[in-house]
């Protein structure tokens, strides 16, 4: 079965510390991978995406993610977080072949502590 | 460029009542999606339109939910009658092409509370 898993529902981290938000997927076909951010009372905004090519993808607001095919992972990282990064982060996957529907993970709430 | 517009932002109704949500996608975006986001969960696709045709409505509870996209632009999502478990944020999104590769742009959502 094809699925996406975000292992951490909440991640507290001190300001200026590094953070990693984990995302794993299960698929027998090729995938396209996305990270979205949702600030309180707002819609989702694309942070970054992996379609093909370099496995290290850089996004907005200093975030980056690395596609690891052998580990079936697409973890999101930032070397130094800011208070304004407090939000919920969603990993999303599209499974290629046939109709391509996006499947979202349950989200990880990042809480940056001053 | 104007974003995806949704209205209303908030709605409170009693169970068994009807409710409708409206979405205006970004101009020129052929693909439109309605997602349901229940508290503590990720967005779940309810229905996807390509222009004014339905591409996927496999997770739409068709006994109570309906959606249409007139003239391939605006869309409405209706619930009739509503149940308590329909309480959620309903997100509309649009994209230029098929979402597999192209970015989806989301509206702010409509928060529905069924009491």
Residue matched to tokens 């007139």: B70
Is it the case that residue A2 has pLDDT exceeding 90?
A: no
Confidence at residue B100, expressed as pLDDT on a 0 to 100 scale: 62
Q: How far apart are the first and last CA of chain A?
A: 41
Please report which confidence band the pLDDT of residue A41 belongs to, taking 50, 70 and 90 as the band edges: confident
Residue B108: list chain A partners with CB under 8 A.
Answer: 41-43
- Rounded average pLDDT over B2-26: 96
Tens digit of each residue's pLDDT (9 = 90 or more) over A58-101 = 999 999 999 999 999 999 999 999 999 999 999 998 877 656 67
| Cβ–Cβ gap A100/B41 under 8 Å | no
Tens digit of each residue's pLDDT (9 = 90 or more) over B40-57 = 888 999 999 988 889 889
Average pLDDT value for chain B: 92
Residue B56: list chain A partners with CB under 8 A.
Answer: 99, 101
Q: Which residue of B has its CA nearest to A34?
A: B103
Is it the case that residue B110 has pLDDT exceeding 70?
A: yes
Confidence at residue A99, expressed as pLDDT on a 0 to 100 scale: 62
| Cβ–Cβ gap B45/A43 under 8 Å | no
H helices within chain B, ranges in order? none
| Cβ–Cβ gap A42/B100 under 8 Å | no
Max CA separation in chain A (angstroms): 47
| Residues with Cβ within 8 Å of residue A27, at least 6 apart in sequence | A2, A72, A93, A95
Which residue among A43, A99, A101 places its CB closest to the CB of B108?
A: A43
Pairwise CA distance, residues B107 & B90, whole Å: 9
């Amino acid at each position: 079965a094809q699925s996406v898993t975000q292992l951490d529902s909440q991640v507290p981290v001190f300001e200026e510390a590094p953070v990693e938000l984990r995302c794993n997927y299960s698929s027998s076909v090729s995938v396209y991978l996305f990270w979205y951010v949702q600030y309180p009372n707002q819609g989702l905004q694309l942070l970054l995406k992996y379609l093909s090519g370099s496995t290290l993808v850089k996004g907005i607001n200093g975030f980056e993610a690395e596609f690891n095919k052998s580990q079936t992972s697409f973890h999101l990282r930032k070397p130094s977080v800011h208070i304004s990064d407090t939000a919920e982060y969603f990993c999303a996957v599209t499974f290629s072949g046939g109709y391509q529907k996006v499947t979202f993970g349950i989200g990880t709430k990042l809480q940056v502590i001053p | 460029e104007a974003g995806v517009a949704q209205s209303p932002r908030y709605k409170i109704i009693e169970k068994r009542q009807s409710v409708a949500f409206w979405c205006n996608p970004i101009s020129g975006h052929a693909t439109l999606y309605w997602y349901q986001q229940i508290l503590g969960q990720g967005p779940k696709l309810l229905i996807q339109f390509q222009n004014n045709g339905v591409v996927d409505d496999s997770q739409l509870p068709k006994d109570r939910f309906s959606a249409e996209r007139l003239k391939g632009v605006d869309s409405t999502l209706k619930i009739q009658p509503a149940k308590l478990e329909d309480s959620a944020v309903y997100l509309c999104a649009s994209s230029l092409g098929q979402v597999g590769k192209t970015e989806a742009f989301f509206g702010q959502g409509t928060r529905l509370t069924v009491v």
